Amino acid sequence: AHFFQSGWTGVNERSFVAVKPDGVQRRLVGEIVRRFEKRGFKLVGLKLVQASEELLREHYWDLRNKPFFSSLIRYMSSGPVVVMVWQGLDVVKTARKMLGETNPADSLPGTVRGDFCVEVGRNVIHGSDSVASAQKEISLWFRQNELQLWESSSRNWIY
């Protein structure tokens, strides 16, 4: 499975993006999906899920020793999240730009965090920080048969 996924490069690069519980509560799902669609990325997976603490601890494994770790797990399990996989050229780096900085106070207007939130502990969205993280996160949150392979009719107008 890992060998297969590592073939996703170029226009087939994928990122894992999640609207966090505050983003869902604040009705930001449509706005966020709209931004990725309009940018030209292709949606290959999407679902609304209540994440278990076990899954979230795995997702944020790298941060396990941070002082905010337990409050982060509580925040992320406080309600449903909308998890998505977006595909396209340089989608990992571009999605991070579209999200803004980790701290909303450092995020420029025009970014999701720069437009819709003010506090780091309620920053409404997640996006993978590297292609390797994206592969790990996609396989953690999605089964292979939940990801759709489809040809976008606008492909030749975007590339």
**Residue 117 within binding range of ligand UDP, rule CB under 6 A:** no
Count CB neighbours of 6 within 10 A.
11
Which of 88, 124, 128 has the alpha carbon at shortest distance from 107? 124
C-alpha 13/C-alpha 9 separation (Å) is: 4
**Residue 126 within binding range of ligand UDP, rule CB under 6 A:** yes
Q: Which of 53, 110, 118, 121 binds ligand UDP (CB under 6 A)?
A: 121
- Number of residue whose CB is nearest ligand UDP: 102
User: What tokens does 82 get?
Assistant: 């909308």
Tell me which of 126, 131, 141, 142 is the catalytic residue: 126
Whole-number CA gyration radius for the chain: 15
Q: Is 126 a catalytic residue?
A: yes
Q: Site residues (CB under 6 A) for ligand UDP?
A: 63, 68, 72, 102, 120-121, 123, 126, 129
List the catalytic residues: 126
